[in-house]
Amino acid sequence: MRFCPRCSTAYEGNERFCTKDAVVLVEQSDFARLGSTIGNYKLLDILGRGGMGTVYRGEHVYIGKPVAVKILHERFARYDEAVKRFLREARAASAINHPNIVDVTDFGPMPDGGVYFVMEYLEGESLETLVEREAPIELHRTINVIYQIASALSAAHEKGIVHRDLKPENIVLTRRPGRREIIRAERDATGTQRFVIEREEAFDFVKVLDFGIAKVLEPEAAHSEGPGSTMAGTIIGTPEYMSPEAAKGLPVDHRADIYSLGVMFFDMLTGSVPFTGNTPIEILAKHIAQPPPLPRIANPKAEITETAEKLILKSLSKDPEDRQRSMDEFLEELQHCYGSVAYRRDASNSVETKLPPRPKRLTEELDDWLKAHQAQLQSTQRLLEQVAAAPEAMGIPLSHESAWNDVAKAVLQPRPPLPRAPTVPPPLPVEVTGKK
């Protein structure tokens, strides 16, 4: 018998989701743990159930701090490889130490032989929920989310860790108060472009979860991996977001994560994944052999810049060698994908939101002039110092007035022209809103 963790409705059939709340059903044993204490943590509610374990909302019994507790499924607890894989998730997440990766704070055995680990408790929703509710997501918001995911994965790759199961379900978003300025490029009724500068009201802060099938790219880890690990011939992951090499059962590296992130970028902007099918095998076959659709054709109404489309298609290359070489390269290309809306600091990377240059102040013009003629001025200063220190040694008698005049002319001529006020075109209208 299975139960809905939200409304407690019992199901005796093969249903996977609650017909009332659309929530994944949990086993009776998962439900029976509610109210019990594991280590220093009391289990209060069930947050979700995944392939490896069930996640509970918990509370530290002494200090009352809210936490998330993930417990390995009972059917896996008796298998050493499953326990190692579960432990690998805890170690991988804690080793990376990045603000956009969920923080693992504790780990331990259970009295019944199982294992658990404790994570920070997150108030928010999954990216999957946001996409299902609001997709397509506007370009500016999408870039902000993808940027944080890519930053987290870049840190993981530096540690030799590949996520291997990147998908919206494993991304949690929490809304935080805005702190940056946003520039919007707009056109009025006459077609004249203007810019609106405002402060963002809120933004999505990303947390990457579930390193349960993460691969640690280290020699000793490779030798210790057994059945269930990513060795040749083993397929692990979610079909809609799986790279072609993973679909073939080949060994994967960090470029598999780049592919999966490209699928998520496509999904958020268009409202659908590039490849769908009636069965997982059909989807995997398309990842292997079928070219991805053009994002701007998949959803012509969505704002997708040419640079964003190029980035997505490059990341979805069948051959890993044709993708971005690293997540840092992906991040660099992502900076140039903005459209009509961008953060002010990134506005120069977008043709639409690039503000016209303002005239330079006189002090800035003088600074530029001094820098441009620094070598000549230094040479003049050294010559004057030599003349002042020993004029007679340079063949200039102190009483010879005409000779001193010749020195002055030699030192001061020709004189570089002083800067003039620059001529710039009139700036485009800029409106600063009063949003704080």
Contact 78, 113 (CB under 8 A): yes
Tokens representing 98 are 């990045």
Taking alpha carbons only, the member of 266, 22, 52, 224 closest to residue 129 is 22
Which residue among the candidates 30, 80, 165, 204 is catalytic per the annotation? Answer: 165
List of residues 6+ apart from 183 with CB closer than 8 A? 195, 196, 197, 341, 342, 343, 344, 347, 353, 355
**CA angle, 22 as apex, 18 and 26 as ends, to 5°?**
50
Q: Distance between CA 432 and CA 436 in Å, rounded? A: 11
The sheet with strand 430-432 has its strands ordered as 341-343, 181-187, 193-199, 430-432
Is 165 among the catalytic positions? yes
Taking alpha carbons only, the member of 116, 119, 56 closest to residue 86 is 116
3-state secondary structure of 176: strand
- Peptide bond before residue 136 is cis, with ω within 30 degrees of 0: yes
Cα→Cα distances 434→198, 199, 354, Å: 7, 8, 21
Enumerate the active-site residues: 165
